[in-house]
Amino acid sequence: MAHVITVRPALDSGRGASFVLDDRIAAGDYTLHSDTARATGPLRYRLQVTHVGDGVLVAGTARVTVVGECSRCAESFQADITASINELYTRDPIDDPDDPLDLYDAVIDSEGNIDIEPMLVGELRLNIPVAPLCQPDCAGVCPGCGANLNRDDCACAADAIDPNHPFAALADLIKD
């Protein structure tokens, strides 16, 4: 979906003119998901739009709340994702087919409008961890019994090591 804003006030006021946008995009009006998390609420942003000659510089922050599954313990969790925004929009498209990060057109249309939704979503997506954790010190699950070590005691015997395991010899290094 599109979230179009007008930048005409900055363009009409000359170089250096700026204004601030402090707004949100409703949850149903954008799509943000990755392999590890998905957005659950509105996308909030605070941006300063500044006329910089050939276009406008859009700079600020965007935030969204996501839910995901912890990569260590597989528990569901909620986290806030924040992205720094710094994007130049021009009247003429800057299209570089060799740039893998050129995912959207940062173009000012003939009426002085820009669509900021693809840029905001793209920047937030880059800030979603590849292997998210429910908490920084997540203990994960026991590989033997599957207990969530954040809340349960392990039911495995501490020294029950399979002698045929390729790393079984390392157990001798940690014995008292």
* Residue 97 within a domain: yes
- Statement: residue 4 has pLDDT above 80: yes
Q: Are residues 12 and 82 in the same domain?
A: yes
Residue 99 is predicted with a pLDDT of: 60
* Residue 45 within a domain: yes
- Statement: residue 23 has pLDDT above 60: yes
Provide the domain limits for residue 146: 139-176
Q: Are residues 171 and 116 in the same domain?
A: no
* Residue 132 within a domain: no
Q: Are residues 144 and 121 in the same domain?
A: no
- By residue count, the chain amounts to 176
Q: Are residues 117 and 143 in the same domain?
A: no
- Statement: residue 104 has pLDDT above 90: no
* Residue 131 within a domain: no
Q: Are residues 119 and 61 in the same domain?
A: yes
Q: Are residues 42 and 109 in the same domain?
A: yes
Q: Are residues 147 and 101 in the same domain?
A: no
| pLDDT per position as a tens digit, 27-48 | 888 888 788 888 999 999 999 9
At residue 106 the predicted structure's pLDDT band, cuts being 50, 70 and 90, is confident
Q: What is the DSSP string of the chain?
A: ---EEE-HHHHHH-TT-EEEEEEEE-GGG---B-SSEEE-SPEEEEEEEEE-SSEEEEEEEEEEEEEEE-TTT--EEEEEEEEEEEEEEESS----TT-TT--S--B--TTSEEE-HHHHHHHHHHTS-SS--SSTT---B-TTT--BTTTS---S-TT---TTSTTGGGHHHH--
* Residue 87 within a domain: yes
Q: Are residues 149 and 77 in the same domain?
A: no
Q: Are residues 160 and 117 in the same domain?
A: no
At residue 163 the predicted structure's pLDDT band, cuts being 50, 70 and 90, is confident
Q: Are residues 73 and 100 in the same domain?
A: yes
* Residue 143 within a domain: yes
Q: Are residues 44 and 78 in the same domain?
A: yes
* Residue 133 within a domain: no
Residue with the bigger pLDDT between 94 and 151: it is: 151
What total of structural domains would you count in the chain? 2
- Statement: residue 95 has pLDDT above 70: no
At residue 167 the predicted structure's pLDDT band, cuts being 50, 70 and 90, is confident
- Statement: residue 115 has pLDDT above 60: yes
* Residue 24 within a domain: yes
- Statement: residue 100 has pLDDT above 90: no
Q: Are residues 38 and 85 in the same domain?
A: yes
How does the average pLDDT of the chain come out, rounded? 86
Report the predicted TM-score, pTM, of the whole model to 2 decimal places: 0.78
